C-alpha cells in the first residue's frame, strides 16, 4: 500500500468516526424527565390500567396526550407506594399544584396536524404502531432534543442513519406519507398540515 | 514507515475526510435540520398547546350586550364567536367584538399606576404608587368638599352601569359632585324629551318590529346603532331572503355607511338638521297628516294666542325656505314627509353619530316633534316605554346626582376630574373638557386599562382590568324595546397592579364593598321583581324569570352569556307637552337652531373647508382597538382613521390637493396632517374625517400622542362638533 | 374502510353583496382564526396581509347619486386550471381532490410570488415581515393554525383548521363524514348580517348550492374558465357588471412600501 493511501484512509476513518459517532453525540442534548414513571407498574396487573385510561381521545376528537396533573392526582392525592419517584412527584407537583413539564417524545411541530381520533378510532391503528411497546417500560428514558431543530430524537428515529429496524421508529413526514400511500389514505398537503 | 507531512499528504487527508464525511449521516442530517430550523426558528411564535375549553360571557364593548362564546386554550381565550340564538347577536359579532380578547394585550396596556408628562409629540410615563395617587385625590376631594374650591367631577364613559349608580350616589353625598357624560350619550337625548314633557317621561326605547319606515337624522342606524339582530332585521328585505325589513331613509351630510346602505340617502348641508325637521313638520301640518284632535289637546304650545307657537315656528319653514336652508330639494322634502305619513308606522331617529357629536338640544326636540306628529310616541307607536332595570333600594332617585353634559357646567369650575375610561364609550373632545377645569390647579386622573383616548390628557392613570378581564354589567341599549341586563364576566385573569373602578372609588370615598357584591345586589333586585325572561346560553333559549329558583341561579346564567329582558309594558298615552320645550326663550332658540347661525350661512372666509368628524361605536371613545384592527385601517382602508380626509373631486381641485396626496388642516387649536382620498360620492365642500386614531399594531419605543381630529375643535365655536371649519393646505 | 367510500366534497361559498354592510367583521374574524399577525408600523394596503379583504366599490355616478357595494374577496378556490398551481415551481400549491380547497404550504414556498402574479383575484399575500404579536399575545393564538414565516405567500384556505377539527370530532364518533354544522369558516360565522353561506356545492340540498344556482348569482372573471367556488349574489346590474373587471388594482405584489 502506498503511503499516500494511508493519509487518505486516516482522513476517511476520522470522518467516519466523527460522522457516525461524535455527530449524534453533539447533535442531541439528553434531558431527564422531571419525574420518573413506570408504565409497567401502571399497566401491570397490580394497577391494570389501559393506554386510554390516561391517553384518551375526548368526545370532540381532541387527544389529551400526556395526562394532566389533575388526572394523576385523581389517584396520587397522597403517596400510595414506596417509591422515591412517587414521593417526589406528590411533594413537588401534586401538593404544589404545579403541572409537570414533561418532555414529549412524539411532539410534532406546529404546522403538523395529527388526529389521534382519526387514526385510532377510524383507522383502528394500535398505539404501538407509532409509539412502540412502551407500555411495559420500567423507567422513562432520557429525552433527547435535537439542538438545531428542537425536535425529539424519536422524530428522526434512534438510528442516525435513518435506517429503521422497527415500524414505530421515525415520525417524520416521510414515515407518515409511506403509511398513507400504502393504505391509500388522504394525500393532500392540508390533510396533515395546518 | 514515517508519515511525512507534505502538502500533498494534507490534501490527501482532507480528500479522505471529505469522502468519508459523504458516507456518514452528518452532511445530510445537518442539511435537513438546518432546513427545519429555518421554519421553526425563534422568530416564529409558537402556538399554545393545552386543553381546549369553551367559556361564555357577554361583550361589554358597547351596550348591545352580545353574548360571546370563547374558545380557550389553557383557559386563555383565542377566538370569540357569538352565542347562537342570543337575543342581541344570534351567533354573530362585530369586528371590535370578534377581536375583543386582544384588548388585554394592547401595546399601550398599563399594568401599574403612572404619572404622565406630555412632551411635544410624545408622552413620558413614570411609575407611581396607587396610594400616592389615591392620597392626592382624597386630599383634593376633601378640599373641594370643605373649602368649596372647585367641584369634584366624574366623567363616566359608560353611563348606565350599576357602578354608574354608585358614582351618582357618592357624588350626591359629596355635595359638590358633578356626574358628567359625553354629550352624545342617549341619556341626554331622552332628557330633551323630558324637557318637552316637563317631567321625567321615563326610559324609552324603540320597537323596531313595529316600524315600516325609518327616517334617520345622521344616526348610524345600519352601522352599529342597534344590536346585530336589529341591524340584520332592518336589512332583511335586501338580498334574497324575501323577508320584510324597514325602509330606511338616511339624512346625512356624510356619505356614511348608513347613507350607503339606506334605501334612500338625503344629503343635507351640515348642521341644518333642525331646519329639515321643521320643514318636514310643515308639510305634515299643511297637509293634515297628523292626529289633529290629539295634538290640539296635548300640545300646550301648538297654537297659542299672543305668543309665538310651534305652528308659527313650523309655518316659517315652507318647503322652499327649508330647501334654501338645508340644500335638500323641496320635492324631496314634500315626498319624504308624505312617505312618513303614508308608509307608517314610521320612526324618526335623531340619535346623532357617536363620533360626530350630538345634533343639539333644539334639533333633538324638533325630531321628537315629528315623532309626535307621526304618532310614533304614544300608545301604538314605535317609541315605547319601558321600565328601568330594577336596582337596589339604596340607589333611589333622590340619592343620585343628576346626569349632566359638559355644556351644563360652567367653565373653570372643576377642581378634581376623574375619568372612568375603564370601558369604551362615546368620545368627547378634550378641548371641551379642558376649559371646565380650574387652570393650573386641577387634578385629572383616569381609570383606564390603556394609555389611549382621554387618558392621554390626564396627570395620572390608575390601570383597570381590560375588556374580558373585568367584571361589569352591560346597560340597556337605546334601541332596545325593553330593559335588558347582562353581565360581562372575566375570561382572563387580571394583572396584579390593576384595580376596578369600584375599588378605586371605594378607596376615595371610603366605602366598603366590591363590584361583584354590587352586581349581585342588582341581580337580586331583578330576581325579586319577578319580571321578564332570561336567555340561557347553555340551551340557546329563553325562560320566564320565575322559572329560575333563586337569585344565585340568575347570577349564574347572567355571568355565563345569559341576558335578562324585561317584559314589555303598555306605553302610556301621550301626556301634555311643549313642542318647543319649556325654556323662557323657547321659540327664539328653536328658530335660531332652524335658521342656522351655523357656518353655512355665515359669510365664508376664503378657502375654508367644513370638517365632518364621525366615529364608530366601540371603536371610538377610549380608542382601545385590537392590534389586529390594522387590518381594517392601515391594511385594507375599509375603515379610515383620523389621518385620512375624504373629499369630493371638485373640492379637492378647489383646495389644490390630489388623491393620495398630503394636506394640512388648520384651526386655532392646531394643525393636523391628513392623507387626501377623493371620492365622487362625497358632498362638495366637506372633508369627512374619522375620530378614531390609527390602531397600534406593534409597540414603538416611545409613546406617541394620539392625533385625533377632535383636537382641532375650537371650543366656543358651537355647542356640538358635528361640523367645524378649518383651512386646508397642500402639505 | 377504503378511501373511495368517502364522499367527495366541493366546498364553496355564496356571498350576498346586497346584504354586506362592509363592517369588516369577516376580515377580523379571519385574521384571528388564522393567526395573521397585526400590521407593522409602516404597513399599508399594498404590503398588508388580509386573507379576506373587503373592497368598497362605487358605480361611478357623482354626488349625490353614487351607489356603493362591498365585495369581500378572498381566494376564489379555482377548480380547474388553477392559476397558482400551474405556475408554482415548488409544488407548494395544490387542489385537494377530496374537498376542492386550494392549499398553500408555506414551508414549501420559496417566496418567488409567481402565484401572486398569476392570481386573477389578488387574493394571495406575501409576508414582508416575520409574524409578531404584542407581548403575551402568543398565548392567545389559535392552536390549530401554524404561523407563517417571513418570505412566503399565504392565502385563504376556507379555515382548514376548522375542517381538521370537524374531522376529528367525527372520528371520535367513529365516522369519516363530518357533520356539516361543525365546519363553518370564521368569516361565515362572524358576519353580523349573515350574508355568507358556506357548504358543499356537491350536495344539492345545501344553502350554498341553492344560492349558487340562483338568478342573482355570478362569479368574478368567470370568462377565465377557472370554475371558482366562491359565488356572489346581487340584484344590482352595476355590481354584476363588475364581475368581468379586475377588482383590486393593487400593486402589492410588485412594490414594497
Asked whether residue B629 is domain-assigned, the answer is yes
The answer to whether B7 contacts chain A (CB < 8 Å) is no
Of residues B425 and B92, which shows the higher confidence score? B92
CA distance B89 to B61: 13
In a domain, B537, yes or no: no
Q: Does residue B697 belong to any structural domain of this protein?
A: yes
Domain annotation covers residue C250: no
Geometric angle at alpha carbon B461, from B410 and B138, rounded to 5°: 65
Residue C165 lies in a domain: yes
How far are the Cα atoms of B152, B157, C132 from residue B399, in angstroms, in the given order?
A: 17, 21, 51
- Structural domain that includes position A153: 28-66+102-192
**Nearest alpha-carbon partner for A9 in B701, C241, B14:** B14
Domain count for chain A = 1
| Average pLDDT rounded to a whole number, residues B660-683 | 92
Domain that holds residue B11: 7-40
CB-nearest to A110 from B3, B20, B47 is: B47
Domain count, chain C: 1
- Range in B518-532, B712-726, C163-177 with the lowest mean pLDDT: B712-726
Q: For chain B, what is the mean pLDDT?
A: 90
Residue C251 lies in a domain: no
What mean pLDDT comes out for the span B467-483? Answer: 92
Are the beta carbons of A115 and C147 separated by less than 8 Å?
A: no
Q: Domain for residue B253, yes or no?
A: yes
- Residue A194 is nearest to which of C1, C99, C161, comparing CB atoms? C161
- Asked if residue B18 is part of any domain, the answer here is yes
Option in C2, C99, C174 nearest A184 (CB): C2
Q: What is the DSSP string of chain C?
A: --GGGSPP--EEEEEETTT-----HHHHHHHHHTTPPPPPTT--TTT---SSEEEEEE--PPTTS--EEEEEE------SS-HHHHH-TT--EEE-TTT-PEEE-TTT-----HHHHH-TT---EE--S-----TTGGGGS-TTSPPPPTT-EE---S-HHHHHHHHHHHHHTT-SSPPGGG---HHHHH-TT--EEEEETTSTTSHHHHHHTSTTEE-TTGGG----SEEEE-S-HHHHHGGGS------TTT---
**What domain range is C130 assigned to?**
8-244
Could you give the number of structural domains in chain B?
A: 3
pLDDT of residue B42: 87
- pLDDT of C133 above 90: yes
Sign, CA dihedral B684-B686-B691-B695, equals positive
DSSP B197: H
pLDDT (tens digit per residue) in A46-88: 888 888 888 888 888 888 788 888 888 888 988 888 888 999 9
| Contact residues on chain C for A111, CB-CB shorter than 8 A | 106-107, 146
Contacting partners of chain C (3+ CB pairs under 8 A):
A, B
Q: What is the mean pLDDT of residues B26-37?
A: 93
Cell numbers found for residue B339: 312617505
Mean pLDDT score, B261-272: 93
- What is the nearest CA distance from A181 to chain C, expressed in angstroms? 11
Q: Which residues of C touch A (CB under 8 A)?
A: 1-3, 94, 96-99, 101, 103, 105-108, 144-147, 157, 160-161, 164-165, 167-176
Determine the residue among A9, A14, A19 to mutate to test chain B binding: the one whose Cβ has the most chain B Cβ atoms within 10 Å. A19
Structure confidence at residue B596 as a pLDDT band (50, 70, 90):
confident
Residue B345: cis peptide before it, omega within 30 degrees of 0:
yes
B16/A contact by beta carbon, under 8 A: yes
Q: Which of B22, B25, B49 to mutate to test the interface with A (most CBs of A within 10 A)?
A: B25
The helix (run of H) or strand (run of E) holding residue A52 is helix A51-54
Residue C202 within a domain: yes
A188–C168: do the CB atoms touch at under 8 Å? no
Can you read off the three cell numbers belonging to residue B46? 409558537
User: Using CA atoms, how far apart are residues C171 and C167, in angstroms rounded to an integer?
Assistant: 6
Q: Is residue C253 part of a domain?
A: no
What is the SS3 assignment for B136?
helix
Q: Nearest CA of chain A to the CA of B42: how many Å?
A: 10
Contact list in B for residue C24 (CB cut-off 8 A) is 95, 631-632, 636, 638-639
* pLDDT at residue B344, rounded to an integer: 82
Q: Which residue of B has its CA nearest to A149?
A: B37
Cross-chain residue pair C172–A188, CB shorter than 8 Å: no
B15 by DSSP, 3-state: which? helix
State mean pLDDT over A7-19.
93
Residues of A in contact with B33 (CB under 8 A): 27, 146, 148-149
Interface partners of chain A (CB pairs < 8 Å, 3 or more) are B, C
Question: What confidence tier does A1 reach under pLDDT thresholds 50, 70, 90?
Answer: low
Report ipTM for this prediction.
0.92
Residue C121 lies in a domain: yes
Query: So what's the pLDDT on residue B599?
Result: 46
In a domain, C142, yes or no: yes
Closest residue in A to B3 (Cα–Cα)? A3
Q: What is the pLDDT of residue C257?
A: 33
∠ CA B649-B653-B657, rounded to 5°: 95
Give Cα A160 distance to the centre of its chain. 16
Predicted TM-score of the model (pTM): 0.93
Residue numbers of B between 230 and 289 with CB closer than 8 Å to C: 231-232, 235, 238-240, 255, 257, 260-261, 265, 267
CB contact under 8 A, A149 and B14: no
pLDDT band for position B605 (50/70/90)? low
| B51/A109 Cβ within 8 A | no
- Chain B hits for C43, CB-CB cut-off 8 Å, are 630, 634-635, 697
What is the percent of chain B where pLDDT is above 70?
Answer: 97
C-alpha cell at B35: 432546513
The answer as to whether B391 is a domain residue is no
Structural domain includes residue B607: yes
Summarised one tens digit per residue, pLDDT across range C182-223 is: 999 999 999 999 999 999 999 999 999 999 999 999 999 999
User: Mind telling me how many Å the CA of C37 is from chain B's nearest CA?
Assistant: 7
Domain presence at residue A35: yes
How far, in Å, CA of B473 to CA of B164, rounded? 10
Maximum mean pLDDT: which of A154-158, B202-206, B437-441, C13-17: C13-17
> For residue C246, what pLDDT is reported?
61
Statement: residue B28 has pLDDT above 90: yes
Residue-level pLDDT at A26: 94
Per-residue pLDDT band at B642 (split at 50, 70, 90): confident
Q: B450 with B109: CB under 8 angstroms? A: yes
CATH for C208: 3.30.70.20
Q: Which residues pair with B117 in a beta bridge?
A: B124
Nearest by CB to A11, from B17, B25, B52: name it: B17
Q: Is residue A106 part of a domain?
A: yes
Query: For A109, which residue in chain B has the nearest alpha carbon?
Result: B40
Inside any domain, residue C252: no
Residue contact C137–B684, C-beta within 8 A: no
CATH number of the structural domain spanning residue B330? 3.40.228.10
Amino acid at each position: 500500500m502506498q503511503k499516500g493511501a494511508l493519509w487518505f484512509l486516516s482522513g476517511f476513518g476520522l470522518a467516519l468516526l466523527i460522522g457516525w459517532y461524535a455527530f449524534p453525540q453533539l447533535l442531541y442534548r439528553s434531558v431527564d424527565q422531571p419525574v420518573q414513571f413506570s408504565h409497567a407498574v401502571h399497566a401491570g396487573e397490580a394497577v391494570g390500567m389501559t393506554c386510554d385510561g390516561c391517553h384518551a381521545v375526548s368526545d370532540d376528537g381532541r387527544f389529551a396526550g400526556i395526562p394532566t396533573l389533575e388526572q394523576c392526582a385523581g389517584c396520587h392525592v397522597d403517596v400510595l407506594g414506596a417509591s422515591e419517584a412517587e414521593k417526589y412527584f406528590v411533594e413537588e407537583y401534586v401538593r404544589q399544584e404545579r403541572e409537570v413539564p414533561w418532555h414529549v417524545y412524539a411532539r410534532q411541530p406546529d404546522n403538523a396536524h395529527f388526529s389521534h381520533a382519526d387514526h385510532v378510532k377510524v383507522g383502528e391503528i394500535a398505539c404501538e404502531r407509532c409509539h412502540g411497546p412502551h407500555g411495559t417500560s420500567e423507567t422513562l428514558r432520557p429525552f433527547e432534543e435535537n439542538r438545531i431543530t428542537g425536535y425529539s430524537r424519536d422524530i428522526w428515529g434512534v438510528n442516525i442513519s435513518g435506517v429503521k429496524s422497527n415500524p414505530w421508529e421515525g415520525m417524520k413526514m416521510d414515515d407518515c406519507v409511506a403509511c398513507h400511500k400504502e393504505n391509500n389514505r388522504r394525500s393532500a398537503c392540508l390533510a396533515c398540515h395546518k | 514507515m514515517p508519515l511525512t507531512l507534505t502538502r500533498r499528504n494534507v490534501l490527501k487527508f482532507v480528500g479522505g475526510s471529505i469522502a468519508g464525511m459523504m458516507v456518514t449521516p452528518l452532511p445530510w442530517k445537518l442539511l435537513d435540520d438546518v432546513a427545519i430550523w429555518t421554519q421553526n426558528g425563534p422568530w416564529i411564535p409558537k402556538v399554545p398547546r393545552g386543553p381546549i375549553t369553551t367559556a361564555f360571557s357577554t361583550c361589554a364593548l358597547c351596550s348591545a350586550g352580545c353574548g360571546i362564546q370563547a374558545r380557550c386554550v389553557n383557559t386563555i381565550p383565542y377566538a370569540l364567536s357569538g352565542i347562537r340564538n342570543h337575543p342581541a347577536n344570534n351567533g354573530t359579532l362585530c369586528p371590535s367584538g370578534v377581536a375583543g380578547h386582544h384588548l388585554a394585550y394592547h401595546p399601550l396596556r398599563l399594568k401599574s399606576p403612572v404619572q404622565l408628562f406630555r412632551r411635544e409629540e410624545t408622552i413620558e410615563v413614570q411609575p407611581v404608587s396607587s396610594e400616592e395617587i389615591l392620597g392626592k385625590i382624597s386630599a383634593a376631594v376633601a378640599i373641594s368638599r370643605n373649602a368649596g374650591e372647585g367641584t369634584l367631577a366624574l366623567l363616566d364613559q359608560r353611563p348606565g352601569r350599576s357602578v354608574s349608580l354608585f358614582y351618582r350616589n357618592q357624588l350626591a353625598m359629596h355635595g359638590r359632585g358633578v356626574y358628567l357624560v359625553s354629550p352624545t350619550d342617549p341619556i341626554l337625548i331622552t332628557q330633551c324629551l323630558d324637557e318637552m314633557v316637563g317631567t321625567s317621561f321615563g326610559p324609552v326605547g324603540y320597537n323596531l318590529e313595529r316600524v315600516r319606515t325609518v327616517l334617520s337624522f345622521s344616526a348610524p342606524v345600519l352601522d352599529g346603532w342597534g344590536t346585530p339582530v336589529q341591524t340584520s332585521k332592518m336589512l332583511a328585505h335586501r338580498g334574497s331572503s324575501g323577508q320584510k325589513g324597514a325602509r330606511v331613509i338616511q339624512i346625512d351630510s356624510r356619505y356614511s355607511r348608513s347613507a350607503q346602505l339606506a334605501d334612500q340617502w338625503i344629503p343635507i348641508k351640515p348642521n341644518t338638521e333642525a331646519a329639515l325637521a321643521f320643514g318636514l313638520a310643515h308639510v305634515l301640518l299643511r297637509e293634515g297628516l297628523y292626529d289633529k284632535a290629539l295634538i290640539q289637546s296635548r300640545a300646550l304650545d301648538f297654537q297659542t294666542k299672543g305668543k309665538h307657537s310651534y305652528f308659527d315656528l313650523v309655518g316659517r319653514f315652507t318647503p322652499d325656505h327649508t330647501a334654501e336652508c338645508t340644500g335638500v330639494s323641496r320635492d324631496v322634502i314634500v315626498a319624504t314627509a308624505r312617505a312618513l305619513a303614508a308608509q307608517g308606522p314610521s320612526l324618526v331617529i335623531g340619535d346623532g353619530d357617536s363620533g360626530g357629536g350630538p345634533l343639539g338640544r333644539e334639533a333633538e326636540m324638533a325630531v321628537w316633534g315629528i315623532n309626535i306628529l307621526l304618532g310614533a310616541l304614544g300608545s301604538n307607536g314605535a317609541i315605547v316605554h319601558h321600565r328601568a332595570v330594577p336596582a337596589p333600594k339604596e340607589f333611589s332617585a333622590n340619592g343620585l346626582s343628576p346626569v349632566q353634559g359638559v355644556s351644563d357646567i360652567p367653565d373653570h369650575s372643576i377642581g378634581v376630574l376623574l375619568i372612568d375610561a375603564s370601558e369604551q364609550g362615546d368620545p368627547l373632545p378634550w378641548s371641551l373638557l379642558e376649559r371646565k377645569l380650574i387652570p393650573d390647579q386641577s387634578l385629572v386622573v383616569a381609570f383606564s386599562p390603556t394609555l389611549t383616548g382621554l387618558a392621554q390628557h390626564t396627570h395620572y392613570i390608575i390601570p383597570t382590568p381590560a375588556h374580558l378581564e373585568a367584571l361589569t354589567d352591560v346597560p340597556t341599549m337605546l334601541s332596545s324595546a325593553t330593559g335588558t341586563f347582562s353581565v360581562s364576566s372575566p375570561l382572563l385573569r387580571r394583572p396584579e397592579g390593576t384595580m376596578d373602578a369600584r375599588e378605586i372609588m371605594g378607596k376615595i370615598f371610603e366605602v366598603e364593598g366590591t363590584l361583584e357584591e354590587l352586581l349581585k345586589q342588582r341581580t337580586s333586585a331583578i330576581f325579586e321583581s319577578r319580571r321578564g325572561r332570561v336567555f340561557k346560553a347553555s340551551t340557546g333559549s329563553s325562560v320566564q324569570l320565575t322559572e329560575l329558583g333563586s337569585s344565585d341561579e340568575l347570577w349564574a346564567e347572567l355571568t355565563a352569556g345569559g341576558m335578562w329582558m324585561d317584559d314589555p309594558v303598555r306605553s302610556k298615552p301621550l301626556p301634555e307637552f311643549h313642542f318647543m320645550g319649556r325654556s323662557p326663550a323657547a321659540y327664539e332658540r328653536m328658530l335660531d337652531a332652524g335658521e342656522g347661525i351655523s357656518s353655512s350661512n355665515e359669510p365664508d372666509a376664503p378657502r375654508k373647508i367644513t370638517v365632518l368628524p364621525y366615529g364608530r361605536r366601540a371603536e371610538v371613545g377610549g380608542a382601545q382597538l385590537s392590534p389586529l384592527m390594522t387590518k381594517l385601517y392601515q391594511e385594507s382602508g375599509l375603515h379610515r382613521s383620523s389621518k385620512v380626509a375624504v373629499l369630493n373631486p371638485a373640492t379637492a381641485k378647489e383646495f389644490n390637493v390630489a388623491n393620495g396626496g398630503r394636506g394640512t388642516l388648520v384651526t386655532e387649536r392646531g394643525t393636523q396632517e391628513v392623507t387626501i382620498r377623493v371620492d365622487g360620492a362625497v358632498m362638495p365642500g366637506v372633508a369627512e374625517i374619522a375620530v378614531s386614531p390609527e390602531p397600534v399594531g406593534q409597540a414603538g419605543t416611545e409613546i406617541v400622542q394620539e392625533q385625533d381630529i377632535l383636537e382641532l375643535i375650537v371650543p366656543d365655536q358651537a355647542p356640538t362638533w358635528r361640523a367645524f371649519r378649518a383651512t386646508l393646505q397642500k402639505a | 374502510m377504503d378511501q373511495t367510500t368517502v364522499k367527495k366534497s366541493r366546498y364553496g361559498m355564496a356571498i350576498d353583496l346586497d346584504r354586506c354592510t362592509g363592517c369588516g367583521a369577516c376580515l377580523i374574524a379571519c385574521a384571528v382564526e388564522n393567526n395573521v399577525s397585526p400590521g407593522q408600523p409602516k404597513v399599508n394596503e399594498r404590503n398588508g396581509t388580509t386573507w379576506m379583504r373587503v373592497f368598497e366599490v362605487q358605480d361611478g355616478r357623482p354626488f349625490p347619486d353614487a351607489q356603493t357595494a362591498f365585495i369581500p374577496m378572498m381566494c376564489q378556490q379555482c377548480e380547474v386550471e388553477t392559476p397558482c398551481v400551474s405556475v408554482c415551481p415548488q409544488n407548494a400549491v395544490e387542489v385537494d381532490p377530496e374537498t376542492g380547497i386550494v392549499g398553500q404550504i408555506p414551508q414549501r414556498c420559496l417566496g418567488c410570488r409567481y402565484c401572486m402574479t398569476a392570481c386573477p383575484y389578488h387574493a394571495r399575500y406575501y409576508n414582508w415581515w416575520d409574524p409578531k404579536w404584542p407581548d403575551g399575545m402568543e398565548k392567545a393564538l389559535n392552536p390549530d393554525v401554524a404561523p407563517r414565516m417571513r418570505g412566503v405567500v399565504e392565502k385563504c384556505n376556507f379555515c382548514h383548521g376548522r375542517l381538521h377539527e370537524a374531522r376529528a370530532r367525527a372520528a371520535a364518533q367513529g365516522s369519516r363524514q363530518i357533520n356539516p354544522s361543525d365546519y363553518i369558516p370564521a368569516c361565515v360565522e362572524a358576519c353580523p348580517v349573515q350574508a355568507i353561506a358556506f357548504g358543499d356545492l356537491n350536495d344539492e340540498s345545501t344553502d350554498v348550492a341553492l344560492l349558487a344556482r340562483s338568478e342573482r348569482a355570478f362569479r368574478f372573471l368567470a370568462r377565465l374558465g377557472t370554475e371558482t367556488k366562491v359565488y356572489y349574489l346581487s340584484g344590482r346590474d352595476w355590481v354584476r357588471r363588475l364581475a368581468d373587471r379586475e377588482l383590486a388594482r393593487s400593486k402589492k405584489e410588485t412594490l414594497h412600501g
